């Protein structure tokens, strides 16, 4: 799928463009935000007991994506029964923490969106506690003790 060598340069360019556009897109946003802000940062949030089930679900999701022939196109090529791996309800607080980190929201904005964005399972108190743990640990160069699987190329 990554071999787009075609004698026609326009077709080759189009294939590269489409590949880039759909890779890690769509429903994969839920995963890519957490991957960037929590997994790659080795956030200590991943070791927290408050979100152990969510972290276990994330671990399962990573393994499902990594085992796919083309992980970057997982949400487009997986079976309908595998799409549950990307359901934000499996890791609502982790996703929300990653989203807050990505957006750079302060506490007031975080609280506002916690109350107005309907993500089942998200609690403002939990999100704030997790953000505090993350920010304090990152400032002191402390990382998670939980070993999480990785996906090459992301």
Element (H, E) at 22: helix 9-22
Radius of gyration for the chain, computed over Cα atoms and rounded to the nearest angstrom: 17
Q: What pLDDT is attached to residue 56?
A: 96
Q: What pLDDT is attached to residue 52?
A: 94
Per-block mean pLDDT, blocks of 10 residues, the chain (154 long):
65 74 76 92 90 95 91 87 90 91 79 69 82 87 77 75
Provide the 8-state DSSP code for 37. Answer: I
Q: What pLDDT is attached to residue 3?
A: 58
Calpha distance 51→55 (Å, rounded)? 6
Q: What is the pTM of this model?
A: 0.79
151 touches 65 (CB < 8 A): yes
Q: What pLDDT is attached to residue 118?
A: 64
């Amino acid at each position: 799928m990554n071999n787009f060598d075609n004698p026609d340069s326009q077709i080759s360019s189009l294939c590269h463009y489409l590949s880039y556009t759909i890779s890690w897109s769509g429903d994969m946003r839920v995963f890519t935000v957490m991957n960037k802000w929590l997994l790659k940062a080795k956030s200590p949030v991943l070791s927290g007991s408050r979100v152990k089930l969510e972290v276990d679900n994330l671990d399962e999701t990573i393994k499902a994506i990594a085992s796919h022939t083309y992980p970057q196109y997982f949400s487009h090529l997986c079976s309908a029964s595998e799409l549950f791996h990307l359901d934000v309800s499996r890791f609502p607080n982790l996703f929300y923490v990653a989203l807050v980190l990505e957006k750079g929201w302060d506490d007031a904005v975080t609280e506002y969106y916690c109350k107005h964005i309907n993500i089942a399972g998200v609690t403002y108190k939990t999100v704030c506690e997790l953000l505090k743990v993350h920010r304090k640990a990152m400032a002191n160069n402390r990382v998670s003790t939980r070993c999480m699987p990785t996906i090459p190329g992301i």
